[in-house]
Chain A
Amino acid sequence: MRQSRASTIGAYVVLGVLALVFLVPFYVMIRNAFSTSSWISSPTWHLLPNNWGSANFARLLANTNVGIIQALGVSAVIAVIQTVLTLLIAAMAGYALARLAPTGRGPMRRAGSVVLGLTLGTLMVPSTVTFIPSFVMVAGLGWISSFRGLIVPLLFSAFAVFLYRQYFTGFPVELEEAARLDGAGYWRTFWRVVMPNSIGITGAIGTITFIGAWNAFLWPLLIGQDRSYRTVQVALSTFMTSQGVDVPELFTGGLVAVIPVVLVFVVLQRFLVEGVERSGIG
């Protein structure tokens, strides 16, 4: 695509300004976490923190009562397992809805639309209230304070299925047909041809799933009643609502909540980016 020098420079300028604006909240978090309370609330805005050596971090990490380190481990396990399984389940279902919906005249001919409708339907139901019957049900199954209870009910993501379905809908048929010509069945085609060429969307959906699992609060709060099943968000809420926590400590807690995910993201980022680039097959 040919474009003028000026428009490229213009793009850089706009992107530069926007990027700066987008980074401001992170800057604020860091500045506040490493400043004293009075520094933050003084009438003149201090650009730099004044308490770099803040012991807040060390104190938070060492606080055995909050148990951040263990909670980080629990959250990591849950987030990883939940992400991997959700992706598997959603990719298969999305592919089925995009490619394998039954056609023809049999009684199954509407199956695809029905399942798609069911899927979209659940997207539209807010879970503010429905989580209570969910909880009672899961409690009835005896899954309180277990990884099963923490993970399994959350594996069935209509959102992921929908995104996969939309994506597979536009997936180049030629690749699949080539595989068919080579004699591969649906299963093989899916795992050997389709998925390896869908790294971009998988990366995007996986990232969002991971983040959602990491940031979840209410479900882990209700299910993870035992200390050893406490996730990072629940543990942090302990810290951030404790007596005498001041603004710098609040932001320290915020950083602890955010940094692990950002790190994971930065690491996986190349994977995601390459995938997105590569999925541009015409």
Chain B
Amino acid sequence: MTHHAPLGGRGISRRGLLAASTGIAATAVLSACGTNSGLSSSSSSSSVGKANLSQWYHEYGEDGVQAAVTKYAAAYPKASVSVKWTTGDYEKAVSAALLTQTVPDVFEYANGPTADMILAGEVLDLTDVLGSAKSQFNASIITPRIFRDKIWAIPQTIDMQMLYYRKSLFDKAGLQPPTTFAALVDAAAKLTTKDVGGFYAGSDSGVGVLGLLLLWAAGFNSISSDGKNVDFDDPAFYSALAAYKAFRDGTGLLRNASAEWYDAAPFINGEAAMQWTGLWALPKVKAALGDDFGVAAFPAIGSAGKPAVAAGAYGACVAAKGTDPDAAKAFVKWLWVDQEDDQVEFSTAFGTHIPAKPALAAKATPLASGAGAAAAKLVADNGHVPDIRWTTAIGTAYSSALTNIIVKGADPKTELAAVVSTAKTELAKLA
């Protein structure tokens, strides 16, 4: 008996404990933002002659967002846009809706549409919509999501993960914030006491959230430039993974805490000296610890490595089968390219996020100084967004391999060989 399903055999209750999708760290950055919303949605006025567009958002965790986006939509003069605030598993709801006759005209999607959505013709090319404004946007957010040389979504606002560290503990031990992985391991070991752990990244020892980050920090890309294979099948990466495994087996990594990695409570409560968590936690950390913390990128692993932070941005997409695609495109351009004040407000008035245009970060107070500014700089210099060609199948194979290597001590070369073969098949389909 499938107990959970109503006896018609349908309706699996698949609500995870956390918002939105899983599968790969790609959407991890965004999904941990949580859901919650402000006031109930209202449609903007509709008048004759104007196009009627529907715009879908997922349920943001912060209060006030829904009212804000409704306000933006209502202010658009050339069409009447009604905002739909979707609860629960947003990706599933949107992708199911895209299969029907009534599709959302404009919708946001984690890091823009998937390669499959593009290949199935569900979304429209927005390269012209972005046009010359492309240079104003953060390149590290846009470039990995280019598919078939076209841009398919306009980033709305950037979320990111980074390393938080306790300044006082570091100063007391005479340590500097780590720039190499060896330094991180060393610092974590030195700062571990009976009651305080060194480094915390989740109850799975960080394998989930740090998946892609490990390869970025080791200096690799996820997909090779010719798009036919993964980029990281390299002995340097094997040793990076071995180093992480050694870290896990050692004393510095805290394996369990009072909350998961996306909740800064362990860091705030002093359960760990360092925690990998997100920009969304910044207000809480600041409120609790004042100035006694700093942020940094994940340190470089190995000689070819480079510090890295994970970033992600919901991108506004236009459905191909919408009622009025041209009107929809115009609306997206208006809101997410032209309306800079709205963009700044959207990014910073409800929790801390980074505007997709780096120049706007300077206009935003929370990001003008201190940890906020440091975070903005980290994204600009070291930000990585998952490659659009990194499909779920590859991601699943990769995270399984990583768990086997780091938790079970399997041989990196053999495990990654399986990922390589999966990737080759998948990428061939995308070519």
A and B in contact, CB less than 8 Å: yes
Q: Which residues of A contact B (CB under 8 A)?
A: 37-38, 40-41, 64-65, 82, 86, 90, 122-123, 125-128, 130-132, 134-136, 139-140, 144, 153-160, 208-209, 212-213, 215-222, 225, 227, 230, 233-235, 237-247, 250
> A218, B14: Cβ atoms under 8 Å?
yes
How far, in Å, is A204 (CB) from chain B's closest CB? 12
Residues in B neighbouring A160, C-beta threshold 8 A: 7
A37–B268 Cα gap in the complex (Å)? Answer: 13
Q: Given contacts A153-B10, A233-B15, is CB(A159)–CB(B39) below 8 Å?
A: no
Residues in B neighbouring A230, C-beta threshold 8 A: 87
How would residues 48 to 75 of chain B score, 1 for a CB under 8 Å from any chain A CB and 0 otherwise?
0000000000010110000000000000
Residues in A neighbouring B33, C-beta threshold 8 A: 243
Residues in B neighbouring A238, C-beta threshold 8 A: 35-37, 59, 87-88
> B8, A65: Cβ atoms under 8 Å?
no
Q: Given contacts A139-B100, A139-B102, A237-B87, is CB(A217)–CB(B12) below 8 Å?
A: yes
Q: Given contacts A238-B88, A241-B34, A247-B259, is CB(A217)–CB(B100) below 8 Å?
A: no
Residues in B neighbouring A212, C-beta threshold 8 A: 3-7, 11
Q: Given contacts A139-B101, A242-B36, is CB(A159)–CB(B7) below 8 Å?
A: yes
How far, in Å, is B193 (CB) from chain A's closest CB? 15
Q: Given contacts A218-B14, A230-B87, A237-B87, is CB(A157)–CB(B8) below 8 Å?
A: yes
> B6, A213: Cβ atoms under 8 Å?
yes
Contacting chain A: which of B91-99, B184-192, B301-309, B398-406? B91-99
Q: Which 7 A-B pairs have the closest CB atoms?
A: A243-B61, A242-B36, A157-B7, A217-B13, A219-B11, A154-B8, A41-B258
Residues in B neighbouring A215, C-beta threshold 8 A: 4, 13
Interface assignment of B202: CB less than 8 Å from any CB of chain A: no
> B61, A154: Cβ atoms under 8 Å?
no
Residues in B neighbouring A130, C-beta threshold 8 A: 10
- 15 A-B contact pairs sorted by A residue (CB < 8 Å): A41-B258, A65-B39, A127-B11, A131-B10, A154-B8, A159-B7, A209-B6, A212-B5, A218-B11, A218-B14, A219-B6, A220-B11, A222-B93, A242-B61, A243-B34
A227–B10 Cα gap in the complex (Å)? Answer: 22
Q: Given contacts A37-B258, A222-B93, is CB(A216)–CB(B88) below 8 Å?
A: no
Q: Can you name the residue of chain A whose Cβ is closest to the Cβ of B38?
A: A65
> A234, B88: Cβ atoms under 8 Å?
yes
A246–B263 Cα gap in the complex (Å)? Answer: 9
Residues in B neighbouring A222, C-beta threshold 8 A: 92-93, 96
Q: Given contacts A241-B18, A242-B36, A243-B280, is CB(A136)–CB(B13) below 8 Å?
A: no
Q: Output the residue of B7, B84, B265, B351 with the most chain A CB within 10 A.
A: B7
Q: Output the residue of B1, B10, B15, B101 with the most chain A CB within 10 A.
A: B10
> A134, B10: Cβ atoms under 8 Å?
yes
> A218, B12: Cβ atoms under 8 Å?
yes
A216–B17 Cα gap in the complex (Å)? Answer: 15
A233–B12 Cα gap in the complex (Å)? Answer: 12
Interface assignment of B89: CB less than 8 Å from any CB of chain A: yes
Q: Which residues of B contact A (CB under 8 A)?
A: 1-15, 17-19, 33-41, 59, 61-62, 84, 86-89, 92-93, 96-97, 99-102, 258-259, 263, 265, 269, 280, 284, 351
Residues in B neighbouring A122, C-beta threshold 8 A: 9
> A140, B9: Cβ atoms under 8 Å?
no
Q: Can you name the residue of chain A whose Cβ is closest to the Cβ of B36?
A: A242
How far, in Å, is B376 (CB) from chain A's closest CB? 21
Residues in B neighbouring A239, C-beta threshold 8 A: 36
How far, in Å, is B94 (CB) from chain A's closest CB? 11
* Total contacts A-B at CB 8 Å: 164
Residues in B neighbouring A247, C-beta threshold 8 A: 259
Residues in A neighbouring B258, C-beta threshold 8 A: 37, 40-41
How far, in Å, is B29 (CB) from chain A's closest CB? 15
> A241, B35: Cβ atoms under 8 Å?
yes
How far, in Å, is A78 (CB) from chain B's closest CB? 10
Residues in A neighbouring B15, C-beta threshold 8 A: 217, 233, 237, 240-241
A60–B38 Cα gap in the complex (Å)? Answer: 14
Known: A82-B6, A246-B259. 14 other contacts (CB 8 A): A140-B100, A144-B102, A156-B8, A157-B6, A157-B7, A208-B1, A217-B15, A218-B10, A221-B93, A227-B40, A238-B36, A243-B34, A243-B35, A244-B34
A245–B86 Cα gap in the complex (Å)? Answer: 19
Residues in B neighbouring A208, C-beta threshold 8 A: 1, 3, 7
Q: Output the residue of A86, A90, A218, A247 with the most chain B CB within 10 A.
A: A218
Residues in B neighbouring A41, C-beta threshold 8 A: 258
> B11, A244: Cβ atoms under 8 Å?
no
Residues in A neighbouring B269, C-beta threshold 8 A: 38
A230–B88 Cα gap in the complex (Å)? Answer: 11
Residues in B neighbouring A123, C-beta threshold 8 A: 9
A135–B100 Cα gap in the complex (Å)? Answer: 9
A245–B391 Cα gap in the complex (Å)? Answer: 31
> A154, B101: Cβ atoms under 8 Å?
no
Q: Can you name the residue of chain B whose Cβ is closest to the Cβ of A64?
A: B40
Residues in B neighbouring A233, C-beta threshold 8 A: 13, 15
Q: Can you name the residue of chain B whose Cβ is closest to the Cβ of A220?
A: B11
Residues in A neighbouring B86, C-beta threshold 8 A: 225
> A37, B12: Cβ atoms under 8 Å?
no
Residues in A neighbouring B36, C-beta threshold 8 A: 65, 238-239, 241-243
> B5, A216: Cβ atoms under 8 Å?
yes
Q: Contacting A127 at CB < 8 Å: which of B10, B17, B101, B259?
A: B10
Q: Can you name the residue of chain A whose Cβ is closest to the Cβ of B86?
A: A225
